[in-house]
Amino acid sequence: MLIARIVPLLITAALQAPAPSGDAPPPAPEPAAAPAAPAEQPAPAPAVTPAPAPVKPSGWTLELSTLKLLREKGVLSQEELDSAVKDLTSSTGYLAPDGTTLAAAKFALTVYGFAEMRVNWDSTQSFNEQEANTLVARPGTFAGTHDRIQFSARNSRLGFRLKAPEVAGIRASAVFEMDFLGTQLPVGAGQAYFGSESAYFTNPTFRARHLYLKVETPVVDLLAGQYWQLFGSQPFSQPNTTELQGMPAQIYGRTPQVRISKTLKTDPLNVELGVAMLRSPQRDSGTPDGQAGIRATLNKWVAWNTPSWTGSSAMPAGLGVSGALRSYRVSDFVEKPTSSQRVLGGGVAVDLLLPIIPGSKEKHGNALTLVAQYVWGTGLADQYGGLTGGVSFPSLPNPTGATPAPAWPQNVDNGLVALDANGVPTTVQWSNAYANLQYYLPVFDGRIWLSGTYARLWSNNTARLAAAAKSRSSLDVVVVGLFADPLPSVRLGLEYVLSLDHYNDGVTATNHRGTFSAAFVF
């Protein structure tokens, strides 16, 4: 029993004893050293959560943004941004890149325009809100000796620009731009059809201004629809004025057309070439109008320019030359014509944008800009707003006093073609020239500026095509304006216009106009 208890104890002791080193006794144990300070360990790396598998975004995710931000995000290419800004600049100027845009699957819809209010006071009763090229009432008449005041918001504008995704370098877009200056019944009694002043000013007609599609390719660009005419290098040639465009003695117009253009781009110089087939002012002519133009710009010589009155932006110096050719077919001057005569019309326009003192969006205080135009043309009265010059077709002779009197089925608008003393159809000739200077004051970052324009319109054949007391020989116009931007989206304008209308009998009719305008641009 004793052995049975001792043997397990010996075995346990043998297993716990250190192994001997030869025959030497084991060294005495050294005193335990103080524990060393633990080495500084790097902080443990944060746990990394595996990234979720990428989810392909829905192609129809809607995003409300601006053109500039969409470019920064890569939704728009630089070429798409440039094309959009070009379409919007004449309405919103330097605010165009900030145009409110709804994007989905690289489709982009931009909303733009302005809300406007204007007040016009005239010393005669010659004009509506737009002076255009209407004859000034002669002195001594009721209209020529009584004044008129008008409040109107009809020039307010709303536009939509839609662009599709770019495909193989080809960009497609469309513009729908409207205002409230549509055709309405004339104001006043004594006419077959007339309307009230209240309806005219407070219930205006919505009107198509621009309606076009554009396809831009690496080779040429195609535009089809209602757009600026090539003639007169529009809209870059427009002077700065609160007057509703086109102002007196200015080429101005939009019309349905098909246009092919090409811009040759280099670092110092761009050259834009264009040809267009346009709506003829006489559908019975059977032929479209033809126009062509070339415009060169110096990219590093930049002007701060305001075409019309809401379109301020930086524009390169430019020179444009354009031409127009058209044909009229005037039926014989009898009650029941059986034949017609063809008459050709056309003209040439030269337009200049010159930065006398250059400017830019960042610094346009002290900028001085010249905009100028010269035009010679015949049969082109529709290229000017509201121009007839008092020239019209006479009534048919009625030697027997028949009732009703015989009437000629007129197939061309007044002011374009008339009959000379021998009854031969003749196009009405008009020329114009203007110079507009804009000076942006070196205070408040150039947000206050002055604008002055002198314009002249004249004809070499109205005296032999119409009654001297009813037709215009020439028109002189002086415009002086003060503009201010109290906020980036708010523009104010105050302007004075002197119009001197010279009749062919030597009488000069005078109108003084004062205008106040205010616009919110978006």
DSSP-derived secondary structure for 214-242 = EEE-SS-EEEEEEEE-TTTTTTTT--B-S
* pLDDT reported for residue 49: 59
The full 3-state SS of 81-140, as one line of letters, equals HHHHHHHHHHHHHHHHHHCEEEEECCEEEEEEEEEEEEEEEECCCCCCCCCCCCCCCCCC
Which tens digit of pLDDT belongs to each residue from 150-181? 999 999 999 999 999 999 999 999 999 999 99
Q: Which of 59-68, 196-205, 232-241, 473-482 has the lowest mean pLDDT?
A: 59-68
* pLDDT reported for residue 106: 87
Confidence class of residue 463 from pLDDT cuts 50, 70 and 90? very high
Residue 410, number of CB atoms within 10 A of its CB: 12
Q: Which helix (H) or strand (E) holds 452?
A: strand 448-458
Confidence class of residue 4 from pLDDT cuts 50, 70 and 90? very low
Confidence class of residue 188 from pLDDT cuts 50, 70 and 90? confident
Specify if 99 maps to a domain. Answer: yes
CA dihedral in degrees (237, 241, 244, 246; nearest 10)? -30
pLDDT at 3 over 50: no
Specify if 69 maps to a domain. Answer: yes
Beta partners for 179? 157, 207
pLDDT at 9 over 90: no
* pLDDT reported for residue 41: 55
pLDDT at 520 over 50: yes
CB contact at 8 A, 75 and 102: no
Confidence class of residue 185 from pLDDT cuts 50, 70 and 90? confident
Range 110-135 average pLDDT: 96
More confident residue, 94 or 9: 94
pLDDT at 55 over 90: no
* pLDDT reported for residue 80: 93
Full-model pTM: 0.84
More confident residue, 346 or 73: 346
Query: Angle at the Cα of 11 (from 9 to 15), degrees rounded to 5?
Result: 115
* pLDDT reported for residue 45: 56
* pLDDT reported for residue 46: 58
Specify if 22 maps to a domain. Answer: no
Specify if 228 maps to a domain. Answer: yes
Q: Phi and psi (nearest 5°) for 14? A: -65, -40
Specify if 27 maps to a domain. Answer: no
Specify if 159 maps to a domain. Answer: yes
| CA distance linking residue 51 with residue 370, whole number of Å | 60
Range 326-339 average pLDDT: 94
Specify if 90 maps to a domain. Answer: yes
Percent share of the chain, pLDDT over 70: 88
| CA distance linking residue 13 with residue 158, whole number of Å | 104
Overall number of domains in the chain: 1
CATH number of the domain bearing residue 464: 2.40.160.10
More confident residue, 204 or 195: 204
Confidence class of residue 186 from pLDDT cuts 50, 70 and 90? confident
* pLDDT reported for residue 367: 98
Which tens digit of pLDDT belongs to each residue from 124-140? 999 999 999 999 999 99
pLDDT at 31 over 70: no
* pLDDT reported for residue 7: 41
The parent domain of residue 141 ranges over 63-188+196-521
Provide Rg for the chain, Cα atoms: 38
Which tens digit of pLDDT belongs to each residue from 374-388? 999 999 999 998 999
Confidence class of residue 329 from pLDDT cuts 50, 70 and 90? very high
Confidence class of residue 61 from pLDDT cuts 50, 70 and 90? confident
* pLDDT reported for residue 60: 61
pLDDT at 20 over 90: no
**Residue type, position 35, single letter:** P
* pLDDT reported for residue 40: 52
Percent share of the chain, pLDDT over 90: 81
Specify if 41 maps to a domain. Answer: no
Range 289-303 average pLDDT: 97
Range 446-469 average pLDDT: 97
What's 71's DSSP letter? H
* pLDDT reported for residue 10: 40
Confidence class of residue 22 from pLDDT cuts 50, 70 and 90? very low
Tell me the pLDDT of the chain averaged across its residues: 90
